[in-house]
Structures are given as C-alpha cells and as structure tokens.
Amino acid sequence: MALCLSGFFWQESLDYRTAHNLVYQLGFIPAVFFTPADLPENMVLVPEWSTIFTSMFLHAGWMHIGSNMLYLWIFGDNVEAAMGRGRFILFYAICGTAAAMAQAALDPSSTIPMIGASGGIAGVLGAYLLLHPKAAIRCFFLILIFFRFINLPAWLVLGVWIGGQFVAVPQALSDTGGGVAYLAHIGGFLAGMALIPFFKYRHVALFDRDVDLKNWADRPLNFHEVKAEARARYRRAAPAGSPPAIKATSTRPPKSSVPLSRRKKTKSDGDHPTGPWG
C-alpha cells in the first residue's frame, strides 16, 4: 500500500505532459512486450520486462487508487497472515503478472499501457475466497433513503465482484469497457485461487476448516433484520395517525470478521456470539 500510494502521489506531483509520458514509460504495453514494437529511445526508462511490475504501482486517478487500496486494506492482511510476508510479496507479484498476461492475450499488439494494482489485488481476493469464504464483511447497504452497515459473507461479496467482471467481458471484447481491464481482474483472481494452496502455511486449512464455530467474532446479518429496521424507520417518519413504529434492534456490536484464533488477543476479547453459520 505504501508503494502504491507513493507512486500515485509522485504522479500527482508531475506536470501533465511528464505524467502522461510516465504511463508509457512504466506502464505495461503488450505491443512492446510481445511484438518488435519499441518505445522511442528517449522514452525508455526501464527494461521492457520490468514494466509488468512497475505498472502495478501507478494509478489513473483518485477513484482508481482509492478502490484498489480499500480492497487491499480489507483483505490483504488476512491473506498475508496465511502465508507470511515474503511469500505474500511473491504471491502478489505472480498474480499481478498473470493478470497482465490475461489482459494482453486479448490483443497482444495493443499499444495502450496498462497500469494499476488491481491485478495483484484480484489475486488476493481469490485467495481470501478460499481461505475465509464465510467470514463476515462489513458492507454499506442502502434501501431507498435508509442505510446502514451490514455483515455479508465473503463468498457473496467476492462472488458478486468477480461475477461482475465476467459479465463485463463482452464490453471489453467490443472495446466499450471504458478503459477497465476486466480480463486482468479475472486472470489475477483465478491465479490467486490456484496459487493459495501452494503458498499458505501447511497448518492453515482452506475454507476455514480449522476454525471452530465459537471462535468466529461475528456473523453475517440476516436480511430480515435489515428489512424490519427499514420498515420501522419508515413508520417513524410517516405522518401522524399512522400505525406505531416497530422498534428493531440488534444486540450484536460490530466486530472484526477475522476468526479469533487468527487475531491478536486483547484484554477485551471474551465470549462472542455464534459465527457466520448462524
């Protein structure tokens, strides 16, 4: 995250022309990598093979860097804990490389540079899906004008994300994808799923088979609870004469979705409600 943020702020400090050229100098260009095409001599900054890695630390705007770092912050530390710091760096680099190759396979002669950490991060998401599929993920949920944060199972959150990438593939094939490397996301995600069994520690089981139900810090929220709360708020906001509101409350305080056995113990750790299985 520090390298990505440093690279982005460096880009932001440059004037428009220099920043534009930097994307071509450090971004991954399929045509330069797979065909005899070359950048002008005065534009070459690093060896062409190394742009696969330098491109992972450049971003195209605040939304690009913000969304990538949010996903890396939420899911990255748990995947790193399952394999160790050194293996995680190698894992991340391989997933980013697989993502770049998947996108380049769409058009190896493309001269459009690819930048962003989303390929490597997609690999982290794929690994997390196999490690903690039933962990509770805090999500922002909106029902008309009512909103709240709810806990959803990781398999649903990540499944919806990767499903959206597959749905958008026709847009990428027709060049109407808005500059988003959907195939890179898919390639990185599948690479992460394929590599995690070989990179994780031996004592770490996939699908959280080694975690007892009582050791889960929280569980995904039931949608009926959200519906009841929204109905209650609507009734409280209704004009006079409407039926009295039904108060919907939840006795579960927000907690981390990481299993207690894999979190640092604190003085406040105690008994917790039943885990994601309800």
17-26, 114-123, 167-176, 180-189: lowest mean pLDDT where?
A: 167-176
Alpha-carbon torsion (37, 43, 47, 50), positive or negative: negative
12-16, 49-53, 84-88, 143-147: lowest mean pLDDT where?
A: 143-147
Work out the pLDDT band at 150, boundaries 50, 70, 90.
confident
Query: Alpha helices of 107-219 — where are they, by DSSP H?
Result: 118-131, 154-167, 169-173, 182-199
Domain range for 241 is: 61-107+115-262
Contact 140, 177 (CB under 8 A): no
275 is a domain residue: no
The answer, yes or no, to whether residue 244 has pLDDT greater than 60, is no
The answer, yes or no, to whether residue 278 has pLDDT greater than 80, is no
More reliable by pLDDT, 266 or 234? 234
**What's the rounded Cα separation, in Å, for the pair 214 and 276?**
10
The answer, yes or no, to whether residue 87 has pLDDT greater than 50, is yes
Work out the pLDDT band at 230, boundaries 50, 70, 90.
low
Contact 24, 114 (CB under 8 A): no
**What's the rounded Cα separation, in Å, for the pair 214 and 260?**
9
Provide the b/e sequence for 143-169 (b: ≥16 CB within 10 Å).
eeeeebebbbbbbebbeeebeebeebe
65 is a domain residue: yes
Predicted pLDDT of residue 105: 87
Q: What backbone phi and psi angles, to 5 degrees, belong to 33?
A: -85, -35
163 is a domain residue: yes
Contact 67, 125 (CB under 8 A): no
Name the pTM for this structure.
0.74
268 is a domain residue: no
**What's the rounded Cα separation, in Å, for the pair 48 and 221?**
48
Instruction: Kindly report, residue by residue over 175-227, the tens digit of the pLDDT.
Output: 655 577 888 899 999 999 999 999 999 888 888 776 665 555 555 555 566 66
The answer, yes or no, to whether residue 15 has pLDDT greater than 80, is yes
73 is a domain residue: yes
41 is a domain residue: no
Instruction: Kindly report, residue by residue over 27-75, the tens digit of the pLDDT.
Output: 898 888 888 878 887 778 788 888 899 999 999 889 989 989 999 998 9
The answer, yes or no, to whether residue 104 has pLDDT greater than 70, is yes
Work out the pLDDT band at 245, boundaries 50, 70, 90.
very low
Contact 131, 78 (CB under 8 A): yes
When divided into structural domains, the chain yields a total of 1
Beta bridge partner(s), residue 6? none
149 is a domain residue: yes
51 is a domain residue: no
Predicted pLDDT of residue 276: 45
